[in-house]
Amino acid sequence: MKTIKEILEEKLDRGFANYVNHEFQDYGLRLCQQLEDIRHRSLYIKLAKDAPRNLLEKAKEFALGYNKPKSKGKIFMWKLKELMKETLAKTSQP
């Protein structure tokens, strides 16, 4: 049985759940919450829709494991950009 505090915390964490209709929206919202960058939630939803999921996961793990970042979102975006460059370079090689 859950306490009232636990129930309220779940409700607060899922504040945008009423607007989620697709899986990628849920993933984007979870990503922005984990990176503590709620302000740019639409960007994370767009990335969840268009970018390869394995690259998003690698960039997220890197950002969450980074030592004392000022902004986890900036670290995430930088790493995602680097990973995208690497995959593009690998696919364009003959």
So where are the chain's domains?
4-92
Which residues are CB-contacts of 33 (< 8 A; sequence separation ≥ 6)?
Answer: 13
Rounded CA gap, 20 and 56, in Å?
19
Cβ-based neighbours of 56, under 8 Å, separated by 6 or more: 31, 47, 48, 80
Measured distance CA(74)–CA(11) in Å, rounded: 27
Gyration radius of the chain over CA positions: 16
- Cα–Cα distance for residue pair 57/55, rounded to 1 Å: 5
**The residue type at 22:** H
What pLDDT band is residue 11 in, cutting at 50, 70 and 90? low
Whose CA is closest to 74, among 59, 54, 84, 86? 59
pLDDT tens digits, 35-73:
999 899 999 999 999 999 999 999 999 999 988 888 999
Does 13 have pLDDT greater than 90?
Answer: no
